[in-house]
Each structure stands twice: as C-alpha cells, then as structure tokens.
C-alpha cells in the first residue's frame, strides 16, 4: 500500500473510531475562522469537545461506513468548510458553550455585512484632516463642531448582505465598529439517531424564560375569567367573589 493511501486509510479508521466512541457527533463551519483563533478554541474547549479537521471525502466515507442509526444524515451538512466535533455533552448544552466563545472583529474588504450597519449622527473623536475625505469616500456626510469631525446625519453604511468595500471597511474600523462574529459555527449535531440543526439548538434563554412567564400569565388570566379554581387562582377568585357579594349587599341596602 502506498504511503499516501495508507495515511488516508488510517485517518478514515480514526474518524470511525471517534464516531463510535462519542455520544454526540457534529459538524462545524470553520469559514472565516483564523487558524490561530481555532487553535485557541481547541485548547480552551478540549474538556467539552474534540475537534477534527480532515478531508471532506473522508468525513463522508466515515459517516457511510459507521453503523449508527441515521448518522448518514450529517453528510447533508458538510457543504461548508467542515470540521467534525465529538462530545458527550448534551446538544443544547454544547451549543450554549460554543455560542459563549465567540468574539466580534472589524470587517475586512469583501466580507458580507451580517446585518444592517448603521452609523448615528454626532461627534467623533477625530480632528479635521485627511480623514474627512475618507468619510466622504464611504458616503458619510460630515461637518466640524468644536474642533472635531461630526457626522451630520444617521446613515446605513451597509445593508445586510452587502459587501464591505475598502473605504467602508476602513471607516467602520476607525469608528470601532466590529460587525463580524468569529468563533465556532455549529451547523448540526447528531445524538441518538436524531440530527439537530444549529438554528434549532441556538436558543436565547431569556426569550425562552419570557415566553414561559407570558404563557403562565395568560393561563392564569384565562382560569380567572372562566372561574376555574386552582391553587394559583383560588385566592383571587375568593377575593373577587367577596367584592361582588359586598357590592350586591350594598345594592340591596338601598
């Protein structure tokens, strides 16, 4: 067996062993993630997960060969710059860990705006000089107030999906705007025969708590409206009944 073929075979076998050894297997998208940042995250998160970067073809072949229920579904999520992750953490717990280890950086030329980039009118820390023309090249109207450059009106520098030009990337960086989020992007996780997409796993805890609180309030109001006694509503129902009884008594007295 030629050395290159032998190396690929060994890597394939290693991936299969990892898939069989861990409860949860996932796919990360490493696009736009600098190598140094990836290495730092690998080291920081090693107690939670193992990251394996290899050829996509070997990932696909390993997923085909392993005898785990429906794990082949993960192949559909490899259409990115994939890395495989292996963990015994709960998928939702792991997603939370991954989300907390992201940072924001300034945009580079050619990168896509992940959201609308809006600049508010008002003073800047810059003194008048060549930078005025840089603002102009980026389409930002300025004036001078109190010896400093001021932006004359609110402006949407880029809309979501638009590309950063050299001028707009430079001026955004000088204004301290860091719209590009870098970190591990969780594409999908497999556990016990099920595949969860990253969108499903990425839950905003506060939003979830607010929804539960709202549901509780609506349920209690409905129970009070239909006079349905529970331990949560009985006191309010008795108070309401007493007030109504008093009102009826007062009417009778007149």
Q: Where are the domains of the chain?
A: 3-102+183-203, 117-180, 209-253
pLDDT of residue 167: 94
- Helices 3-21 and 56-65, packing angle to 10 deg: 50
Angle CA(108)–CA(113)–CA(117) in degrees, nearest 5? 105
Distances (CA, A) of 253 to 244, 245, 248: 14, 12, 9
Closest CA to 106 of 173, 183, 184: 173
Mean pLDDT by 10 residues, the chain (254 residues): 80 93 91 82 86 92 90 92 91 82 87 92 92 93 92 93 94 93 86 85 62 78 82 84 79 60
For residue 103 the two structure tokens come to 């940072």
Under CATH, domain 117-180 is a member of which superfamily?
Answer: Ribosomal protein L10, N-terminal fragment, domain II (3.90.105.20)
Q: How far apart are CA 98 and CA 27, in angstroms?
A: 12
Identify the H or E element spanning 29.
Answer: strand 24-29
Contact 28, 83 (CB under 8 A): yes
Q: Is the domain defined by 3-102+183-203 classed in CATH 3.40.50.1000?
A: no
**Residue 153, pLDDT score:** 93
Q: How many residues are present in the chain? A: 254
The number of beta carbons lying within 10 Å of the beta carbon of residue 158 is 23
Give me the pLDDT at residue 222, please: 83
- For residue 52, the model assigns a pLDDT of 92
Residue 88 · residue 24 · CB < 8 Å: yes
Match 């997960």 to its residue by tokens.
49
Identical fold, 3-102+183-203 and 117-180:
no
CA distance 30 to 53: 9
Per the listing, tokens 């085909």 go with: 64
């Amino acid at each position: 067996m030629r050395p290159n073929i032998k190396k690929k075979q060994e890597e394939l076998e290693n991936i299969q062993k990892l898939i069989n050894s861990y409860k949860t297997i996932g796919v990360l998208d490493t696009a736009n993630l600098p190598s140094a940042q990836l290495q730092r995250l690998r080291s920081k998160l090693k107690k939670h997960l193992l990251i394996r970067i290899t050829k996509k073809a070997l990932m696909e072949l390993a997923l085909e060969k392993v005898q785990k229920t429906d794990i082949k579904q993960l192949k559909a999520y490899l259409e990115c710059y994939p890395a495989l992750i292996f963990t015994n953490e709960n998928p939702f717990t792991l997603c939370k860990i991954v989300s907390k280890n992201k940072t924001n950086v300034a945009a580079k030329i050619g990168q896509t705006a992940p959201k609308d980039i809006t600049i508010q009118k008002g003073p800047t820390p810059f003194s008048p000089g060549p930078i005025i023309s840089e603002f102009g090249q980026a389409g930002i109207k300025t004036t001078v107030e109190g010896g400093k450059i001021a932006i004359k009106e609110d402006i949407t520098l880029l809309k979501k999906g638009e590309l950063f030009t050299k001028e707009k990337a430079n001026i955004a960086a000088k204004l301290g705007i860091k719209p590009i989020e870098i970190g591990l992007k969780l594409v999908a996780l497999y556990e016990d025969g099920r595949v969860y997409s990253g969108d499903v796993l990425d839950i905003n805890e506060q939003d979830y708590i607010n929804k539960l609180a709202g549901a509780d309030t609506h349920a209690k109001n409905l129970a009070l409206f239909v006079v349905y006694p529970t331990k949560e509503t009985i006191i309010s129902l008795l108070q309401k009944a007493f007030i109504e009884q008093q009102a009826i008594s007062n009417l009778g007295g007149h």
